[in-house]
Amino acid sequence: MNITLVNLILAAAVCVLGLWAYARKTSRSALFVGMAFGLFAVAHLLTLLGLAASLNTLLTVIRVLGYLSAMVGVYKLGT
């Protein structure tokens, strides 16, 4: 099994769990973490589809937004 496929599956699972936690508890930190992993899942999917070379800049932006979203979510957990 390809590591990118494993990353896609795990990122999608964390995304779903984050959105589920947000729906149950209205925790904005869970929403931000879920969104972050949703963005990571999109980046992994584009890579699996063979579009990484032609969409390098877009993938960088998607990943940076994902990391920023995760940082906001973790920050909200601490405040």
**Model pTM?**
0.94
- For residue 78, the model assigns a pLDDT of 92
Query: What distance in Å separates the CA atoms of residue 79 and residue 54, rounded to the nearest whole number?
Result: 40
Residues in the chain with pLDDT < 70? none
C-alpha 26/C-alpha 61 separation (Å) is 27
CA atoms within 13 A on the CB side of 16: 6
